[in-house]
Amino acid sequence: MINLTETAATHISNYLKNRGKGEGIRLGVKTSGCSGLAYVLEFVDDIDAHDQMFEQFGVKVFVDPKSLVYLDGMEMDYVKNGLNEGFEFNNPNKKGECGCGESFTV
């Protein structure tokens, strides 16, 4: 299961409204960085039948089966710290991350 905070759901919902289309977002992982894996977010216009769908606060999050192994149980938040803002991933499967925080290991 993927959990969204209400703040993250509101941010995603606003993006989808401003975009004018979309079923939700797709969350996945790709091989990248010095630790091995990086999070990938993209808009979903066409639902893939293989994706697992999670819905919270009216926002749909789609995850492909291969990525779900690394993301199951994760909470996705949207945070603002001073001038910086963005999504924060609280992943219980993460064993470590690189110094810059761009990639992680499981």
Q: Quick one: CA dihedral 68, 65, 87, 11, positive or negative? A: negative
Q: In this predicted model, what pLDDT tens digit does every residue of 18-74 receive, in sequence order?
A: 999 999 999 998 887 565 788 899 999 999 999 999 999 999 999 999 999 989 999
Provide the pLDDT for residue 84.
86
Which CATH architecture does the domain made up of 3-93 adopt? Sandwich (2.60)
How is residue 63 written in tokens? Answer: 């995850």
Structure-derived torsion over alpha carbons of residues 3, 8, 9, 13, reported in degrees to the nearest 10? -150
Provide the pLDDT for residue 60.
96
* pTM given for the model: 0.83
Domain edges within the chain: 3-93
